[in-house]
Amino acid sequence: MATNESGTAGAVLKDAPAKDSAPIVELRGAGKAYGNIRALHGVDLKVFPQNVTCVLGDNGAGKSTLIKIISGLHQHTEGEFLVDGEGVHFSTPRQALDRGIATVYQDLATVPLMPVWRNFFLGSEMTRGPWPVRRLDIERMKKTADEELRNMGIVLDDLEQPIGTLSGGQRQCVAIARAVYFGARVLILDEPTAALGVKQSGVVLKYIAAARDRGLGVIFITHNPHHAYMVGDHFSVLRLGTMELSASREQVSLEELTNHMAGGAELAALKHELAQVSGVDVEELPEEKDLTAPVAATPEGKS
Ligand SMILES: Nc1ncnc2c1ncn2[C@@H]1O[C@H](COP(=O)(O)OP(=O)(O)OP(=O)(O)O)[C@@H](O)[C@H]1O
Ligand SMILES: [Mg+2]
């Protein structure tokens, strides 16, 4: 059993993104309060077809809240949420899915003991024959799952194996191929590489790029600026519920993105504190002046 693990994630960049197309999903000054807690405020975001928008931020920054709004789990309490230019208020994930917005959660909602092909069609099984003798069309499901996975460049030796026997990265890839097959236009991935090692992360990044090349708008949530920079066309950094940075690839370097994520001033304070602890060589840590981030947030989700 092997996925196609050849090729490095560094090689997945494509040419310039399609800039003249209209955004599929757009947030304008959107926010969300949970009772008295304001988890998100004044967020602008645009998701274009054939584009990867990375949403970065520290724990509690509001990343999950942001995608819960877009995926229909929660409703925004301020601002606007538009799909194809039309204001929407989804009350269930099904409504988001009907508009082509698919979300791959970290737990993936698969049935570990069921074969790969069965999980691929879970909840949308193919059937044949008229009622009441309608039955599952097993052969067609196996064939289609095999074709679709191959189309995405995912090669598994045996689709009969329980999906639980695949690696975490391979399961993410199956979930991405499934969303593409079922007609997703926007694919939301919540920290798909968080629990993965370097090689498996590379494989997932490769299929994020493959989904983008199939024309999807991808929202890639991550803590990791290096992963984001390998596939991202646009970068949005959340900090304490507001958008601290919104920049296209041309506007921000990996170093600047990393500094934004790290929070320059906070790292400098940490360095000062660590200097009091014996055994920590703070000389190895960067200087405060190197940690200031020069790029400001632009109000437009995309330049
Ligand atoms: N259902 C909820 N009720 C009350 N407060 C919430 C709820 N969900 C999130 N919050 C708060 O909103 C803020 C943003 O949380 P969110 O889960 O969106 O952050 P995150 O960026 O996804 O963090 P992590 O990286 O830890 O997943 C946090 O302060 C959190 O405590
Ligand atoms: Mg989260």
Q: Which atom of ligand 1 is nearest to the CA of 35?
A: 4
Residue whose Cα lies nearest atom 14 of ligand 1: it is 62
The strand pairing partners of 236, in sequence order, are 55, 246
**Quick one: pLDDT at residue 289?**
53
CA of 65 to the centre of ligand 1 (A): 6
Task: Please say whether the beta carbons of 245 and 252 come within 8 A.
Answer: yes
* DSSP 8-state class, residue 48: -
- 223 touches 60 (CB < 8 A): no
pLDDT per residue of the chain (303 residues) written in tens, 0 to 9: 444 434 333 334 444 444 568 999 999 999 999 999 999 999 999 999 999 999 999 888 999 999 999 999 999 999 999 999 999 999 998 899 999 999 887 666 667 788 888 888 887 788 888 888 888 888 899 999 998 888 877 788 888 888 888 877 788 888 888 888 888 999 999 888 887 778 788 888 988 998 899 899 999 999 899 999 999 999 999 999 999 999 999 999 998 998 888 765 566 666 677 777 766 666 666 555 555 444 445 444 444
Class of domain 9-261: alpha beta
CB of 166 closer than 6 A to ligand 1?
A: no
Any ligand 1 atom below 6 A from CB of 6 = no
**pLDDT score, position 283:** 64
Q: Is 64 in the pocket of ligand 1 (CB under 6 A)?
A: yes
CA distance 155 to 141: 16
**Could you tell me if the CB of 37 is within 6 A of ligand 1?**
yes
DSSP letters, 94-162, are HHHHHTTEEEE-TTTT--TTSBHHHHHTTTS--EES-TTS-EE-HHHHHHHHHHHHHHTT---S-TTSB
Q: pTM, whole model, 2 decimals?
A: 0.79
What pLDDT score was predicted for residue 4? 42
Pocket test for ligand 1, best of 38, 64, 77 (most atoms within 8 A of CB): 64
Residue 131, C-beta contacts closer than 8 angstroms, at least 6 positions apart: none
The ligand minimizing its distance to the Cα of 34 is 1
Give the N- to C-terminal CA distance of the chain in Å, as an integer: 43
Three-state SS at 187: strand
